[in-house]
A and B are shown apart, each in its own frame.
Chain A
Amino acid sequence: MHKIKTAMLGLLLCGALPATAGTLADIQQKDELTCGVSEGTPGFSNPDASGRWVGLDVDICRAVSAAVLGDQEKIKFVPLASKQKIVALAAGQVDMTSRTTTWTMKRDTKEGVDFTAIVYYDGQGFMVNKALGLTSAKELDGASVCVTTGTTTELNLADFARANGINIEAVVFEGKKEAFNSYKQGRCDAFTTDMSQLASWRSTLPNSDDHVILKDVISKEPLSPLVRHGDNQWKDAVTWVINGLIEAEEKGVTQANVDQLASSSQDPTIQRMLGVSGDMGGYIGLDQDWLKRAIAAVGNYGEIYDRNLGENTRLKLDRGINSLWSQGGLFYSPPIR
């Protein structure tokens, strides 16, 4: 099965791709960006009650659409099941996939797709009751932890305990729901799964403020949007829109002040970013106002995070390692120069 799939992808890549014009030109000609998203992941992508797609992954697509087409609404969201997310892209059904996809070597090299830039550093974390007074996962010595069986989550937990020389009693369950319910009933001291999911589980608890998500992340799940392999111009465009959003946060360019900064800022970096000087947009096949439009549409990275995952949402997900490098996190954009 797998060989067949790889062979078919290979066939497709050799045979069909060179026939098309660049993705960027195609999008501009269609005047519509087709973006693959998840059918429902809290805080990342789902239709809200009014029928509008919202979430961090969705906002990345909107930013790209604003930069490339000048309008964040010129976009077609295609909900993709997990099994479709790579194939849909390779087969040309979508222009980009922004669907909580972990950047792994195999996907990047063998499956006909390219990753662009990381938009969220996910990873396995722990939720505990505030009353325990814990500040770090390393203090979980002797604690019982609810975990799903037979997954990498369980293996990661065992590795973490061994590496830190602490004794963790894993209470295993078949499904996440069962594991979480046992935590809810107090059968375990902690519950472990990916950070982004911990936040959504927590928001379903009656007294959600009594539970904290510890800062420690014990596995690497960097999430990044994907584009088709082999179209470097399009990959560059998506990558640099994301980098631009990160750089904008570092430079304090927000949705509210972007127009004012564009006309008055004396900072050469901001001038380059917002198209006042230099020809940054030209490097990726766009015009001068590409980043200005993206920021005006969805805000900088920090604003996107806050709107979808931050303190004012029900998820209340601490930024942790998803802060800027200057604030102890991992987000660092190469210079826009």
Chain B
Amino acid sequence: MSDMTETALRTFTPQPALAPPKELKGAVHWARANLFDGGLNTVLTLLSLLLIVSVVPGLVRWGLLDAVWQGDSEACRVEGVGACWSFIGANFRILMVGIYPVEEIWRPVLSFLLLLGVIWLTVSRRVRGIRMVAFWLVLPFIAYWLIGGGYLGLPEVDQSRWGGLMLSLLLAAVGIIVSVPLGILLALGRFSDSPVIKISCVSFIETIRGVPLITILFMASVMLPLFLPEGMDVNNLLRIQIGMILFSSAYMAEVVRGGLQAVPRGQTEAAKALGLPYRHIMFYVVIPQALRHVLPPLIGRCIALFKDTSLVLIVGLLDFLGMLKSSTQDSEWLGFEAESYVFGAFVYWLVCYSMSRYGQHLESAGPKNNH
């Protein structure tokens, strides 16, 4: 084998490839081929350039060059300075954890590190399958216990003191972790042979999907307490969380249904022919295939749920967006809305983009020949 190669190399040495003709290489050619090919594209390119030139320098000057990075609010009120990033620095803690007591701050920090740890274990595929699911199911309980306390020696921190990014992540994480299994059950219920289960699942899904999330939040937060008997006090946060889970699970169910329909009938029939019981057919044959089909829209729903948590602002919970807004109302720091919202947009983007990247990674990593 190696002899043959050596002989071949000795007898035939290919010439190095010629460089492309001058007029087909270089930045000028690329620009001509991609930016200025034809009248319409030329006009669009020029318009885009105009837009970039008119916006970007001002933005860079405001956000970076003239920005104030430290100091108090006085330093930001000088004429001619740009963005006041020291505003974010001064309010960083309340943006992250709301009005959580300082001396207990290690608890949300530890919860966050645990979250990062589980994410790392999942992404690096160090734990897989049922163990990974178990990790994710246990995590929210540990986080709730760490942050809320009240058991096993941790002093209780009332939920009225939870806030900031911590609250948004908690609402989203618990929402996703509970609503995915619930959505799968609802989707299976839609295909059930029993008319009672089928009708109740369909009507639940269709009712919830026919109502905007904001209405559900208002119902949960404003109307529900009027119906509950006096003294039966389900706290605001829990009511909101349940509302979000119900909303999200109806949408998850529709996504999963698409996946179930895409699994060929032959799969179920083959499993039946092997004599597998219903639950094994579902959990080992149908659902894994169905979920793989709908991974992109499922990740999409998770991202949407995380962004939807910002709606809780209107029912008085100070989540990340609520805290961003509230910190601009501090009489010491009035008038820095732009900085606040730019920072907020960046953090939301960071979280959503990470989720989306992981979704893409999952799609490409999985077995392709699953049909």
Flag if B331 contacts A39 (CB, 8 Å): no
Is B320 an interface residue, CB under 8 A from the partner? no
Which residues of chain B are near A91, meaning CB under 8 Å?
Answer: 225-226, 228
Smallest CB separation, B4 vs chain A (Å) = 75
Flag if B230 contacts A203 (CB, 8 Å): no
Which residues of chain B are near A308, meaning CB under 8 Å?
Answer: 331
Smallest CB separation, A28 vs chain B (Å) = 17
CB under 8 Å from chain B, chain A span 298-315? 308, 313-315
Query: Could you tell me the distance between the alpha carbons of A313 and B163 in the complex, rounded to whole angstroms?
Result: 26
User: Which candidate, B93-101, B127-135, B276-284, is the interface stretch facing chain A?
Assistant: B93-101
Which residues of chain A are near B93, meaning CB under 8 Å?
Answer: 49-51
Query: Could you tell me the distance between the alpha carbons of A49 and B99 in the complex, rounded to whole angstroms?
Result: 9
Flag if B229 contacts A76 (CB, 8 Å): no
Is B71 an interface residue, CB under 8 A from the partner? no
Flag if B329 contacts A206 (CB, 8 Å): no
Flag if A46 contacts B226 (CB, 8 Å): no
Is B102 an interface residue, CB under 8 A from the partner? yes
Is B122 an interface residue, CB under 8 A from the partner? no
CB under 8 Å from chain A, chain B span 303-327? 313-318, 322-323, 325-327
User: Which candidate, B26-34, B203-211, B332-340, is the interface stretch facing chain A?
Assistant: B332-340
Which residue on chain B has the smallest CB distance to residue A18? B230
Query: Could you tell me the distance between the alpha carbons of A120 and B91 in the complex, rounded to whole angstroms?
Result: 28
Flag if B331 contacts A84 (CB, 8 Å): no
Set B73, B98, B218: member contacting A51, Cβ < 8 A: B98
CB under 8 Å from chain B, chain A span 18-66? 19-20, 39-43, 46-53
Is A166 an interface residue, CB under 8 A from the partner? no
Flag if A49 contacts B329 (CB, 8 Å): no
Given contacts A46-B329, A81-B314, A91-B226, contact A200 B221 (CB under 8 A): no
Q: How many A-B contacts if CB must be within 8 Å?
A: 127
Which residues of chain A are near B326, meaning CB under 8 Å?
Answer: 39-40, 46-47, 79
Which residues of chain B are near A179, meaning CB under 8 Å?
Answer: none
Which residue on chain A has the smallest CB distance to residue B100? A51
Given contacts A83-B222, A314-B334, contact A49 B316 (CB under 8 A): no
Which residues of chain B are near A203, meaning CB under 8 Å?
Answer: 331, 334-335
Smallest CB separation, B233 vs chain A (Å) = 7
Q: In which size bucket is the chain A interface?
A: 35 or more
Which residues of chain A are near B99, meaning CB under 8 Å?
Answer: 47, 51-53, 77
Given contacts A39-B316, A42-B331, A79-B316, contact A12 B226 (CB under 8 A): yes
Interface size on B, residues (CB 8 A): 48
Is A9 an interface residue, CB under 8 A from the partner? yes
Is B231 an interface residue, CB under 8 A from the partner? yes
Is A217 an interface residue, CB under 8 A from the partner? no
B81-104 interface bits toward A, Cβ cutoff 8 Å, 1 = contact, 0 = none: 000000000110110011111100
Flag if B226 contacts A8 (CB, 8 Å): yes
Query: Could you tell me the distance between the alpha carbons of A116 and B310 in the complex, rounded to whole angstroms?
Result: 34
Given contacts A39-B318, A53-B99, A79-B317, contact A9 B226 (CB under 8 A): yes
Smallest CB separation, B199 vs chain A (Å) = 28
B45-88 interface bits toward A, Cβ cutoff 8 Å, 1 = contact, 0 = none: 00000000000000000000000000001000111000000000
Flag if B225 contacts A88 (CB, 8 Å): yes
Which residue on chain B has the smallest CB distance to residue A34? B160
Which residue on chain A has the smallest CB distance to residue B77? A206
A249-276 interface bits toward B, Cβ cutoff 8 Å, 1 = contact, 0 = none: 0000000000000000000000000000
Is B330 an interface residue, CB under 8 A from the partner? yes
Is B269 an interface residue, CB under 8 A from the partner? no
Is A109 an interface residue, CB under 8 A from the partner? no
Which residue on chain B has the smallest CB distance to residue A205? B335
Flag if B230 contacts A80 (CB, 8 Å): no
Smallest CB separation, A10 vs chain B (Å) = 11
Smallest CB separation, B192 vs chain A (Å) = 36
Flag if A42 contacts B316 (CB, 8 Å): no
Set A19, A93, A313: member contacting B236, Cβ < 8 A: A93
Given contacts A51-B99, A76-B158, contact A46 B330 (CB under 8 A): yes
Query: Could you tell me the distance between the alpha carbons of A47 and B334 in the complex, rounded to whole angstroms?
Result: 13
Which residue on chain B has the smallest CB distance to residue A46? B329
Which residue on chain B has the smallest CB distance to residue A203? B334
Which residues of chain A are near B314, meaning CB under 8 Å?
Answer: 81, 83
Flag if B160 contacts A84 (CB, 8 Å): no
Given contacts A40-B325, A93-B236, contact A49 B330 (CB under 8 A): yes
Smallest CB separation, B10 vs chain A (Å) = 76
Is A105 an interface residue, CB under 8 A from the partner? no
Flag if B98 contacts A47 (CB, 8 Å): yes
Which residues of chain A are near B327, meaning CB under 8 Å?
Answer: 40, 46-47, 49
Smallest CB separation, A12 vs chain B (Å) = 6
Query: Could you tell me the distance between the alpha carbons of A314 and B79 in the complex, rounded to whole angstroms?
Result: 17
Flag if B100 contacts A80 (CB, 8 Å): no
Given contacts A79-B317, A84-B221, contact A314 B160 (CB under 8 A): no
Smallest CB separation, A14 vs chain B (Å) = 12
Given contacts A49-B90, A49-B91, A200-B334, contact A40 B329 (CB under 8 A): yes
Which residues of chain B are near A8, meaning CB under 8 Å?
Answer: 226-227
Given contacts A51-B94, A200-B331, contact A20 B315 (CB under 8 A): no
Which residues of chain B are near A214, meaning CB under 8 Å?
Answer: none
A78-95 interface bits toward B, Cβ cutoff 8 Å, 1 = contact, 0 = none: 111101100110111100
List of 3 A-B pairs having minimum Cβ-Cβ separation, nearest first: A204-B335, A40-B329, A40-B326
Binding site for A on B (CB under 8 A): 73, 77-79, 90-91, 93-94, 97-102, 158, 160, 163, 218, 221-222, 225-231, 233, 236, 313-318, 322-323, 325-335
Binding site for B on A (CB under 8 A): 8-9, 12, 16-17, 19-20, 39-43, 46-53, 76-81, 83-84, 87-88, 90-93, 200, 203-204, 206-207, 308, 313-315
A-B contact pairs, 16 of them (CB 8 A): A16-B229, A39-B313, A39-B325, A40-B327, A49-B94, A51-B102, A81-B313, A87-B226, A90-B226, A91-B225, A92-B230, A93-B236, A203-B334, A206-B78, A206-B79, A313-B331
